[in-house]
Structure 1
Amino acid sequence: MATISPSRNIARPSAPPRRPSWDPFNVPRKHGSRTLLPSSMERQVAAASGFYQGLHECHEKPTQRWRSSQSSNNRKLEHFWRLELDNNNTEKEIAILDNLVCASSAQQQQKQTGMRPRPQRIILVRHGQSEGNIDEGAYTIIPDSKIALTEVGWKQAVLCGKKIRKIIENDDVDDWQVYFYVSPYRRTLQTLRGIGMAFERERIAGVREEPRLREQDFGNFQNRERMQLQKAARIRYGRFFYRFPNGESVADVYDRITGFRETLRADIDVGRFQRPEVCSKSMNLIIVSHGLALRVFLMRWYKWTVEQFEGLHNFGNTGMLVMQLGPGGRYSLTMHHTADELHSFGLTDTMIADQEWQKRAQPGDLNPAWQTSGPSFFRHFDAMEQGIDLEEIPPDIIRIETLESSTEIM
């Protein structure tokens, strides 16, 4: 097994008689292994999550304890606890230590890479009621990007800001802030201003206008009668792939939202919405956009299929969905919303089950039970179990009787 010595930056006394020599971040996940608890930082992580308490229930007296002296750069004293377990480790012991090492490794990686804490939540907000929501004829004389909020839409935006603030204040922390990403359309910018009425200057960390969050392009100065025909054709053709003349398909929106998602993930990783001296865990990102763009964002983030996307319902005006950070470091809709709320939005039981998995998973984990990971695309597994002839042509395959085949039959 690989050997890792303590950090070279730490001036340490002579080693204890039986100082363990195992790798603290490459611990075999099996019974009979030796495991390391590296430092006071990891003990704090463990204490916060209950693992350290569970460890003492299993081992009242650790086999060895070794304490280092103060480091050469005058940093505070680091403590290393090294535990050598018997070969008769219980599953409870292994689970406690596995979870501790995972949490410690994640925190150590964040420290080494300089990554900031992830925002507490990402809140998706559709714009308030607009002229176009009241009268589709507005699109025939006003560019889509210049459609404004109605008075009702403005009041909705102000109320939405108050709701968001209440959600954040329920965290019971003092250093929280909000950062906005907003579509450049008039109605979304006005909605942003209305939401912002709920926050003081020091609470708003920043705003970024993001053109990739704009509404689906339906074409310039839409003809009302022609648009009705186009929307009817879209239903027959398929909502995701139908492209409006001089406009976009949902697939086109998906492509630009993919670019925005990568930008957002990079911003989250480097903490671009916080000042260099700030490292707050209480940041809240708010995306103010359009109903379809937000649904596509969720589709792209959670890797939903086209079929799953087409089962979703549009956001209401100033409707919200909250992606909240789970204990593992990933965002889940079930951290804030109930299953009934997600069902009403159009999520299936399978999609909600995946959100429950997202709640506890860590970044980089893969859900083996998630249907879009592979197995759901194949049907021959069930056929084999049911004894169905695999050579038989499936019923959804189009059969065309050619002249050659008909001659052979005769």
Structure 2
Amino acid sequence: MELDLTWILLGLPMAFGLGWLASRLDLRQLRIANRQAPRAYFKGLNYLLNEQQDQAIDAFIEAVQNDPDTSELHFALGNLFRRRGEYDRAVRVHEHLLSRADLSQADRQRAQHGLALDYLKAGLLDRAEEALRKLEGTPYEGQARLARLAIYERSREWPEAARVAHLLENSGEANFSVRMAHYLCEQAREAVQQGDAAKALQLLAQATQNAPEAPRPRILLGQLQLAQGQAQAAFDTLRDLFARQDAAAPLAAASLVKAAQAAGQSAQALSALQAFYAQQPCIDVLEAMTTLAPNEPAEQAASHQRYLDHLQKQPSLMAASRWLNGQTDRAPLPAPVQKALENATRPLARYRCAACGFEAKEHFWHCPGCQAWDSYPPRRVEEL
């Protein structure tokens, strides 16, 4: 019995000592880990400030390994991967966050938004759309709808784009009436390509009614009416643009001339063009006026004189070229000179996107370069 008590008396201090030593070791390890995580984090932040993204990613990976439960480090890492174009790694980071059961609702929504952006940047539009739909009813709802709108416009899903634009307008984001009129115009163009002119006319009439201030539906409606042999209706539709002094009216000048000639309304069209030109001088309107001039020599000479008058209002190589080519009291221009003038004026006759600078021979309502709407001024490059 005495031996047993001796061992107990000896064992108690030993057990206490071993326990104390173990606790000290655990505390030391915890302190080391806690020191390592902030050190790696601040190292990564320093690399970011110095725009050294590769080293920042390595530092954040080290910090995540030291503290795998820190969601903010995961978000930082996912954003860095996306900015570097490593979309597959960004997707894995955000999917890992979404798989965590301990993630708060706010962080889960944030991770879902990050995942949607990963898919969007990677060009995986179907997956991006699915991820964006899951953000309905969250603080990211407005951003998600705008992203979905861009997806539908890019994939030319005009009815879906109109539905999302309607939701955005109802939520107070902006007025999308002109944008939705563009969607109807795009559907009308597709209907014309499919040979369904009646449907196209209906869509354009609806667009004109929904957005009376939008010029594109009226221009397309007038052009389609003219193509369908409705010359008088086309003339009335297009003349309204000039009567309103719409800035986009020059885009319809050539179509107005054709409609007026077909409907026997040349004098009325010339009057409308002259009234518009007096307020907004423009080379396209000037050429339309010249086309409608009567065939009498005196009238033709007076019409040709307009190019010289136009040069007094604003310098224009296009107008100068037209004036030189129309001179009848001298020998015609030598072929090399005429060709040189044509080459010099060709770039000036283009249209240029005000958002990205993309130039094209024809006017675009939806820029093929930057996807912006109504970014092309209805004037030639020379007149900007």
TM-score, normalised with respect to structure 1: 0.25
Greater relative contact order (Cα < 8 A, sep 6+): 1
More strand by share: 1
